[in-house]
Structure 1
Amino acid sequence: MTDSPNHVQRLRRLDACAVSDALDKLGLPGVVTHLAQRSSGPGGASRIAGRAVTMKVGPGQPPAGPPRHLGCSAIEQADSHSVIVVEQRSGVEAGCWGGLLTLGAKVRGVAGVIADGPLRDVDEAIAYEFPIYSRSLSARTARGRVVELGTQVPVTIGVGTGPGLGGEVLVNPGDYVLADRSAVIFIAAEQIEQVLEAAETIVAKEAAMAKAILAGTPMTQVMGGNYEHMLEKSI
């Protein structure tokens, strides 16, 4: 999966709030706020970024072929620039990611996992220092309850469209993913350059404001009209 020109590296230098502001400025969706961080990376690092390797999980029959446990194909197709994104919105309480998968992804060098569904074996994820965000936790196995319905297929992540719910986001394989303690954000591959440019501009402006605050400039002057109108398209 190619990444040119270094979009993942640039995304990793940004936080979710700056990218959320960039999406607002551009009138784009992508922010999901109900997926909690369950485990972090080495040293407690929470931020992950990469390109989506997607997996859809739910009741039914797996695709034809030799039997495989869910998640194995996703891990094999991922690398250090990948975030595995799982949809398990079936309503069945059954883990869509678990301890052995976490270990396999860790060994593979995968950046992290975003699971819109129940996470199993959370203590193992914490012990492995592997970043995972999920909708909920469960001890219930997937076996006999849900199966992998597809890998590298479009998935839907997010809850509803009401106030505070963040809305649903369609995520395609190869889209970009950023997550930290504030939110999980998805960016369509074809929009990544304009989103990065907008976010980097916002970060630079806020850095200048922070410098002014440290220099003693009054807050009302720093956070006046410029800040309030920063996300307008003409600014």
Structure 2
Amino acid sequence: MNEQTRARLKTVSTATLCTALYKRGLKNQFIQDVRPLNPNGANMVGEAFTLRYIPAREDLNPITVFQNRDHPQRVAVEQCPPGAVLMIDSRKNARAASAGAILVTRLMVRGAAGVVTDGGFRDSPEIAELAMPAYHNRPSAPTNLTLHQALDINVPIGCGDVPVWPGDVVVGDREGVIVIPAAIADEIADEAVEMTAFEDFVMEEVKKGRGIIGLYPATDEQTRVDFAAWRAANGR
């Protein structure tokens, strides 16, 4: 990912990105029912590196599978590139954990930008204290072996009903997580920064008592004049 794009995406909200994507016909990019463990943490931006679970079959998924050095869950943690976000397809099932604090800490130490599951994490209080963004549906105490079987690494997945391809750009904030197709990430970032500047201007005007008709959206010429002056004064 272009580092300028990464920096720009850290300054915009998932809500604004949803609007920019919607203008391009992409209506299903916000991951459903996934929330930050630490809502006061920094925003998350990184390219998707994926792990896919399927329903566990008991004869193929005993606890001894973790002795296999090629176990996909462990390998995914060790292969997720620095700056990437590990995206986990847990079938929207939080009754068993996608991972726990040890594996998430390993991701953090290796330089991952974050981790997202549409299931749940065990050790969620410990994960919430880590200096890396983590998103899940809800806490999950049992081991993933109860219901999930790790199968594929870095393949297209579904996470919270959103299609995720390896290399897609993932952005997380205090509201949730959105997925941007890699091919349009640069232009989406540029547009979102512009939208954010205008929305910041509008918010200041509304707090001063200005009405929204003609202001938001900017259908009055005076709004455009005022916005241009605001940008010049604020270096935006």
Q: TM-score scaled by structure 1?
A: 0.78
1:201 alignment counterpart: 194
| Structural mapping, 1:1-235, within 5 Å | 3-4=1-2, 6-29=4-27, 30-39=29-38, 44-58=40-54, 59-60=56-57, 66-89=68-91, 91=93, 93-143=95-145, 145-158=147-160, 168-213=161-206, 216=208, 218-220=210-212, 223-226=215-218
- Structure 1 residue 155 displacement after superposition: 0.7
For residues 4 and 108 of structure 1, the distance between their equivalents in structure 2, rounded to whole angstroms, comes to 20
SS at match of 1:86: strand
Retained in 2: the 8 A contact 1:54–1:86?
Answer: yes
Structure 1 residues 70 and 135 mapped into 2: Cα distance closer, same or farther (>3 Å)? farther
> Which runs of no fewer than 5 residues in structure 1 stay unpaired?
159-167, 229-235
SS at match of 2:197: helix
- Structure 1 residue 70 displacement after superposition: 4.5
Instruction: Give the letter aligned to residue 43 of structure 2.
Output: R
Structure 1 residues 224 and 207 mapped into 2: Cα distance closer, same or farther (>3 Å)? closer
For residues 76 and 109 of structure 1, the distance between their equivalents in structure 2, rounded to whole angstroms, comes to 11
Q: Cα deviation per residue 1:71-123 (whole Å; 9 max; x = unaligned)?
A: 32222222442111000117583211111101101211211111011211112
Structure 1 residues 36 and 92 mapped into 2: Cα distance closer, same or farther (>3 Å)? closer
- Structure 1 residue 227 displacement after superposition: 7.3
Instruction: Give the letter aligned to residue 220 of structure 1.
Output: I
Instruction: Give the letter aligned to residue 179 of structure 1.
Output: G
- Structure 1 residue 14 displacement after superposition: 1.4
For residues 36 and 73 of structure 1, the distance between their equivalents in structure 2, rounded to whole angstroms, comes to 25
Q: TM-score scaled by structure 2?
A: 0.78
Structure 1 residues 45 and 85 mapped into 2: Cα distance closer, same or farther (>3 Å)? same
For residues 142 and 31 of structure 1, the distance between their equivalents in structure 2, rounded to whole angstroms, comes to 25
Structure 1 residues 182 and 98 mapped into 2: Cα distance closer, same or farther (>3 Å)? same
For residues 222 and 129 of structure 1, the distance between their equivalents in structure 2, rounded to whole angstroms, comes to 43
Retained in 2: the 8 A contact 1:212–1:222?
Answer: no
SS at match of 1:220: coil
- Structure 1 residue 49 displacement after superposition: 1.1
For residues 46 and 6 of structure 1, the distance between their equivalents in structure 2, rounded to whole angstroms, comes to 17
Q: Cα deviation per residue 1:171-230 (whole Å; 9 max; x = unaligned)?
A: 01110101112221001111212322221221122133234446x4622356344279xx
For residues 107 and 17 of structure 1, the distance between their equivalents in structure 2, rounded to whole angstroms, comes to 30
2:231 alignment counterpart: none
SS at match of 1:218: coil
SS at match of 2:6: helix
SS at match of 2:96: coil
Greater than 4 Å deviation, 4+ residue runs: 60-63
